[in-house]
Amino acid sequence: DTGVSQDPRHKITKRGQNVTFRCDPISEHNRLYWYRQTLGQGPEFLTYFQNEAQLEKSRLLSDRFSAERPKGSFSTLEIQRTEQGDSAMYLCASSLGRDNYNEQFFGPGTRLTVL
């Protein structure tokens, strides 16, 4: 257990439905990251927050994806109008973001299956 939790662990939904995932980072970590991982591939960066500010978004993050970190603590990732191609493991990570060290601690992930 890294101290980063994600909920739910598994989500099965039908195409066209909206889904929301939650990530609770390690409490003193000011950086929070979202990644997506498909079978046989390494995780792909989606977006990250420094406290409550969303600093970068990947081109992978289409208009159907939105992420928030309202109080600089937990974060949510919402996917609207899900597509079968959205099926993947969604990973959250957090870090202190200090200049000289940035170990990222990953949560267990949320596995999304879109039918």
Partner 1 sequence: LAKTTQPISMDSYEGQEVNITCSHNNIATNDYITWYQQFPSQGPRFIIQGYKTKVTNEVASLFIPADRKSSTLSLPRVSLSDTAVYYCLVGVHTDKLIFGTGTRLQVFP
* Site for partner 1, rule CB under 8 A: 2, 4, 33, 35, 40-45, 48, 56, 91, 93, 97-109, 111
Smallest gap from residue 81 Cβ to partner 1 (A): 26
Q: Measured from the CB atom, is 84 or 100 closer to partner 1?
A: 100
The overall longest dimension of the chain from CA atoms, in Å, is 44
Nearer to partner 1 by Cβ, of 19 and 46: the residue is 46
Neighbours of 14 (CB within 10 A): 8
The conformation of residue 25, written as its DSSP 8-state character, comes to -
Enter the tokens of residue 110. 């949320």
Q: How far is CA 4 from CA 1, 24, 78, 97, in A?
A: 8, 6, 18, 15
- Cis peptide preceding 25, ω within 30 of 0: no
- Tell me how far, at minimum, the Cβ of 82 lies from partner 1, in Å: 21
- Least distance CB 57 / partner 1 (angstroms): 11
Q: Considering the complex, what minimum distance in angstroms separates the CB of residue 114 from partner 1?
A: 18
Task: Output phi, psi for 21, to 5 deg.
Answer: -115, 150
